[in-house]
Chain A
């Protein structure tokens, strides 16, 4: 038995097919979901992938958050459905208030694409259990609006509750507060991060590392053992 993991395609989504491939590489079954369709096709988990949904001409993720599919994703995430937001997906999750804070333009004002070193701070979420806390990994990063911000109280709360899931190491590529690369909700089912684990699942391709694969094996194990 395997798990069915949905990948939403918004107009302007770019990494939907890559994310489906990563799910397949991990041994799960990817299911294509469409932004105009409220039906999640009974998937066991959902990934909101990277890209520029609706062109991101307003504010990254601000329009996608109001698409029909998100109505269902928001409801079910609150009920425990595992949801991973990568890059634009992370931005959509903050716009949908499933995760706190938001993303501003990179502090250097340029798009940045690089092999980024991260530290796994929380290995207890649905999407990170195959890592160990404190583990350092390399994951490709590529974004224009990746500067994570939140008010002081929210930041303190995230830190105190161990909800900073990933932190940039050696180099903060966008000016994110507290070097935050990714966070989780209190329940641990909703995780968002700016770097792209789906681009680090095969040797040879991209950076040539497979440091992103545990995202997808983590969720698969959790779902299959559930």
Chain B
């Protein structure tokens, strides 16, 4: 059998007419021509592999970049920001010498193809981003969106995704403290599996992805490189699903959480001994990404010998090795004198570690295979100078009709009995029902620092055992609101996450986001994206919470039908002493219930309009970010000064949903009185933003009212914690037992 000659740089220069499969690798014609122009010759197969994965939508942000710039341009002044956008994850100062890194990413497409592994490796990837910053991961959160709850395919996708998240995260020893589960038919063929993680470190331990210092060694450590996930980034994440194409199953990576746990421990030990100059995890685009990013962020070039990469499949070609997305691998840059100690630590943890190259004086990334040079590129052209598209965008022609279809005009309940029925339907609907069947498959106790976990408004982790310093995180995103108005929808997601953090008593500091949208090649989708980014950037500036990083997931559509625009926003907050945190559950009979904020007739995109009328139309609730900030300050002060014993933010499902949740969690009922100026229906179901319900001990009533009055926050007494039912005076009484059955029975009924 004759072998084709190795496609070296020399060979490529000598054979300009060889046709390369650039289209199969996902490159457009003009992109391929740009590669040829950069190199001054045709690329080698290996170079083509690198450019194609690194210039994919997933890795290069080529469609979104021009919009994402606003997060930097509009960033508010913040003393808290230590590392901003562009690194593996942003880093925020939380005081007492501690820094926190956090980020949310998507693993949407792989999770639809192979729910368990897709979701599991999503957790693995985000956790490696956190380690790569120098931090110990301390918690994960998982915002999830699935198709209709009663659709047969949801029963395939959801249990697999949940088991994958649990199977991986539980085995890593990371408490899962938050996230969401939302059902909507628009996600039927495109579930959204977003994964977030938080890590904690001391300021001096922050590490960056850069290769500096000629002569320093490049060490690849962790799992062996295999054939899984080859082309995952370019093929899976950057094209719309199409039934006509062959199965893409082999492109999904397979995870090994045990290997990742060892990777965490051995990396942190190496950090502790100051052995690492620069570090990068291997995620999408594998070695192509790690080598080109490390090299382009550093001061020198890099030379890599691909033959030294430990393989689990010896038949892999160099192109495949460069593209492989085998999980649980990291790349470290280490001074020569410290290499032995680094390898010793890896051996202690039974982690395979291999020197595969070194930092050079020049500015080229050179990769060798069997003695031949198969890559010779300026790493910046691979990692940072990919194509940038100004995709056309236009407000879709259906937007006006959608907004004109006013939800406020839908038929409302006419009798008390109807009102009561609708409350039961709402709290038992899949989106409003308890997600305990899902969250109890996640470990939320491990590490022994979990102060709050789902279904609390935000997850909270103790950072310092002595002082009680803690951090809180909440993720939110309402695709229905964003569909009605993407600008407002993105701000509502931000406002809700901000409010959720403040409700637990923590001060919101910074934002990460995961922007899930349809195809950027559709101008209507691109408009949704542009509007959402603009809304989020404007909102973050107003609230003083900078975006520290995040992720964009495009092409979430099947055929012509795109998902609802779904910007998921994560807000990180800090609390001086976790002992002061405020839980959702009602604590004591007799405490007074207060509604904070203004309630208006706002039903566009509401849970009520979805559950009762299967309707989506009108305008989403109005956003008033100054009000959100004031509400946040009141909630934080009240928590710090011991004025409230429980608090719950009001969002989808409105006041009645919040009160029912607090009642069921606390095992204590409530008697409510409809305030003057409101009808019972609006009082219970409106989704006006900027609101929360708090329970105030009677001894604090005057002080709490005075504080709200002095700061100008509308506050209305709406009832009292009492008994074993939720009663709305003059309307209906619902025993907690009935509410519990409706609220907790739905999800197991559909999925168990």
Contacts and interface: CB of A to CB of B under 8 A. Distances in A.
A204 B578 contact: yes
B262 interface: yes
Interface residues of A, number: 33
B442 interface: yes
B138 to A, nearest CB: 11
Interface stretch (B166-174, B549-557, B615-623): B166-174
Given A15-B173, A204-B579, A114 B440 contact: yes
A57 B446 contact: no
Contacts of B578: 204
A95 interface: no
A55 interface: yes
Interface in B435-453: 439-451
B257 interface: yes
Nearest to A141: B445
B448 A12 contact: no
Contacts of B167: 111
A11 B264 CA distance: 11
Contact of A55 (B173, B257, B439, B442): B257
B701 interface: no
A112 B448 CA distance: 17
Q: Is the interface of A mostly helix, strand, loop or mixed?
A: loop
B363 interface: no
Given A55-B256, A114-B440, A11 B350 contact: yes
Given A11-B349, A113-B440, A205-B451, A52 B445 contact: no
B592 interface: no
Contacts of B581: 204
A56 B579 CA distance: 36
A112 B443 CA distance: 8
A57 B254 CA distance: 14
Contacts of B579: 204
Contacts of B450: 205-206
Contacts of B446: 14-15, 18, 50, 142, 199
Contacts of A52: 170-171, 257-258, 261
A39 to B, nearest CB: 16
A114 B442 CA distance: 9
A204 B451 contact: yes
B462 A205 contact: yes
A199 B445 contact: yes
Contacts of B259: 55
Contacts of A114: 440
Interface string B462-491: 100100000000000000000000000000
A61 interface: no
A11 B258 contact: yes
B447 A18 contact: yes
A21 interface: yes
A111 B445 contact: no
A199 B444 CA distance: 10
B181 interface: no
A113 B173 contact: no
A55 B445 contact: no
Interface string A4-41: 00000001101101100110000000000000000000
A140 to B, nearest CB: 5
A142 B445 contact: yes
Given A12-B171, A14-B173, A198 B448 contact: yes
A206 B461 CA distance: 10
A51 B258 CA distance: 10
A196 interface: yes
A110 interface: yes
Interface string A40-83: 00000000001110111100000000000000000000000000
A80 B64 CA distance: 66
B533 interface: no
A52 B166 CA distance: 13
A18 B448 contact: yes
B444 A113 contact: yes
Contact of A142 (B170, B257, B448): B170
Interface string B5-37: 000000000000000000000000000000000
Given A15-B173, A205-B462, 15 more contacts: A11-B350, A14-B171, A17-B447, A17-B448, A18-B446, A52-B171, A55-B259, A56-B258, A111-B170, A112-B441, A113-B442, A113-B444, A142-B170, A205-B451, A206-B448
8 smallest CB-CB distances across A and B, nearest first, come from A55-B258, A14-B173, A18-B448, A199-B445, A140-B445, A142-B443, A111-B166, A111-B441
Interface of B: 163, 166-167, 170-173, 256-259, 261-262, 349-350, 439-451, 462, 465, 578-579, 581, 752
24 contacts: A11-B350, A12-B258, A12-B261, A12-B262, A14-B172, A17-B447, A21-B448, A51-B173, A52-B257, A57-B258, A108-B752, A111-B441, A111-B442, A112-B441, A113-B439, A113-B441, A113-B443, A113-B444, A114-B440, A142-B443, A144-B170, A199-B445, A206-B445, A206-B448
